[in-house]
Amino acid sequence: MIKPTRVIVALVAATFLPLAGLSTAATAATPTPAATQRHLVEIPAQAAVAQAVAPSECATTLLGDYVDQLIGAMTLEQLLFLIEHQNTLLSVPTYDALFFGTQGDPDYALESHARQITNTFRDLQRFWDIDSSDIQLMAMHGDVLLDADRIAATLTAMVATGVTEPMTPAEIEAEAEEVATFMQEQGDFYDNPLWTLNAFAFSGEGESDPFIAALPDKLVMGDGIIEFYDAIGLGDVGVRVIMAHEFAHHVQFELGVFDTGPTDPAEATRRTELMADAMASYFATHKKGLALNSKRVADALLSFYTVGDCYFDDPGHHGTPLQRQRAADWGADLAAAAKPRSYVLPAETFVGLFEAALPGIISGN
Ligand SMILES: [Zn+2]
């Protein structure tokens, strides 16, 4: 999760028009998120879908190419449904897991790569010297979209917490019914990786909304992101590295790192994201961590987040590919320099070293 409120690039209905060949009337009802809307969780698929349907000059990324493929494989009927119900399809699986998921509930049980994910989580808990015993590890699955009651409960909570625009109970019920009915008729469309193309860390600490503040700490792995890494041949490395990145956000929550950064939201996000990359790389390449090859680790980190590069003014901006590469290299170099090789830095010390290195990571000097 990104602590400072992130404005997600709005999926404007018009951007779909050239691709879908629609009349404007057909999409007039598509909501455009307000700029003031709050976002508890960043949903990269939203920006990736926008880029897929209205390509800009941004360089394509592996994640972007993957989203293009997913969209290209849809029937026209499915694509039109996505356009009409994009907020529900792209947000509900994430917020369902955030609001209602618990470790141990079969609805959120890890399936793909389950053993690897569980083991890596344990490795991470051992590696970093923070109290991580209260973090719940879980999956998110697209099958929530088959269940009108679960969709309605999630939309209701999204409205109540201000992460989506106001909807009446009747509107919520109608939307939930329509989506569940469609998904039940469309084979495995409910399981499309696009709906769960995300992994996130969440902590409710410091949130003013009592409902959000009461939620347990979580690390949520979407089926879609796991499938993405499998599809690009980075399954083993990618899944573990993205977990390490998300776990790094928990280290940051625990140490209060989000409270001490620059006041400019874009700079603040860049700092915590580059730090999370460096921490992920440090863990993933360290002898006491995963002892993975540093180039594959950097590839895994870069394949996912470079989608942010299109939006330099976005408060959720994650840093340029070069900055992310340098952050990953910095973390790997630090791991390689450990003396003895099995020595792991205290998290607090790591953060201090990173802060000192950050200007160089940003500028390249
Ligand atoms: Zn992150």
- Output the CA 172–ligand 1 centroid distance in Å: 31
Percent of the chain at pLDDT > 90 equals 68
pLDDT at 270 over 60: yes
Q: What is the 3-state secondary structure (H, E, C) of 220-283?
A: EEEHHHHHHHHHCCCHHHHHHHHHHHHHHHHHHHHHCHHHCCCCCHHHHHHHHHHHHHHHHHHH
pLDDT digits (tens, 9 = 90+) for 84-101: 999 999 999 999 999 999
Q: What's the full length of the chain, in residues?
A: 365
Residue 318 has pLDDT above 90, yes or no: no
Do the beta carbons of residue 123 and residue 290 sit within 8 Å?
yes
pLDDT score for 10: 25
Q: Residue range 271-287: average pLDDT? A: 96
Please say if the pLDDT value at position 217 is more than 70: yes
| Distance from Cα 88 to the centre of ligand 1, integer Å | 23
Place of tokens 């160089």: 360
pLDDT of residue 107 exceeding 90, the answer is yes
Domain extents in the chain: 13-363
pLDDT for position 303: 81
**Measured in angstroms, how far is the CA atom of residue 276 from the centroid of ligand 1?**
6
Taking the CB of residue 45, how many other CB atoms lie within 10 A of it? 29
Strand (E) or helix (H) holding 219? strand 218-222
Rounded distance, CA 158 to CA 47, Å?
19
* Cα of 151 from ligand 1 centre, angstroms: 26
Ligand 1 centroid distance, CA of 99 (Å): 19
In angstroms, the Cα distances linking 157 to 28, 33, 197, 303, 365 are: 25, 16, 21, 32, 46
CA–centroid distance, 345 to ligand 1, in Å, is: 21
Q: Does pLDDT of 15 surpass 60?
A: no
- In angstroms, what is the span from residue 245 Cα to ligand 1's centroid? 6
Distance between CA 13 and CA 24 in Å, rounded?
A: 8
Query: Ligand 1 centroid vs 308 CA: distance in angstroms?
Result: 11
CA of 321 to the centre of ligand 1 (A): 14
pLDDT digits (tens, 9 = 90+) for 108-163: 999 999 999 999 999 999 999 999 999 999 999 999 999 999 999 999 999 999 99
Say how many Å lie between the CA of residue 274 and the centre of ligand 1. 8
Residue 34 has pLDDT above 90, yes or no: no
Q: What is the pLDDT of residue 59?
A: 58
Is 169's pLDDT higher than 50?
yes
CA of 166 relative to ligand 1 center, distance in Å: 28
CA of 304 to the centre of ligand 1 (A): 10
What angle do helix axes 294-305 and 62-72 make, rounded to 10 degrees? 50
Distance 37 CA to ligand 1 centre (A): 20
Q: pTM of the predicted model, to two decimals?
A: 0.85
222 CA distance to ligand 1 centroid (A)? Answer: 14
Q: Ligand 1 centroid to 270 CA: how many Å?
A: 9
pLDDT for the residue 332: 97
Distance of alpha carbon 316 from alpha carbon 321, whole angstroms = 15
pLDDT value of position 312:
52
